[in-house]
Amino acid sequence: MQIPTEVPKPDSNTPVNLSNIWEVIIYIVIPVVLIVVYFWLRKKRRSTSEPNEAQDE
């Protein structure tokens, strides 16, 4: 079986090392912060648009 040399192989992959602080920051902290910021901005946008709709009625 031929496997291209440029493609990552399943044998060469390693699991995330949670004892390394940089991997924890990259794979856990940053995604959680992005999700929280997304929902916070979404809630903020909805709360600012609701009073405008109430005035139109």
Q: What is the pLDDT of residues 4-54, one digit of tens each?
A: 888 777 777 888 899 999 999 999 999 999 999 999 999 999 888 776 555
Q: Give the span between the Cα atoms of 17 and 27, in whole angstroms.
A: 10
Give me the pLDDT at residue 22, please. Answer: 96
Within 8 A by CB and 6+ apart from 27, the residues are: 16
Q: Give the span between the Cα atoms of 26 and 18, in whole angstroms.
A: 11
pTM of the prediction?
0.64
**In 10 A of CB 27, how many CB atoms?**
13
Give me the pLDDT at residue 25, please. Answer: 96
Angle at 40 between CA 36 and CA 46, to 5 degrees: 150
Give me the pLDDT at residue 2, please. Answer: 77
Give me the pLDDT at residue 8, please. Answer: 76
Two tokens at 50? 């609701």
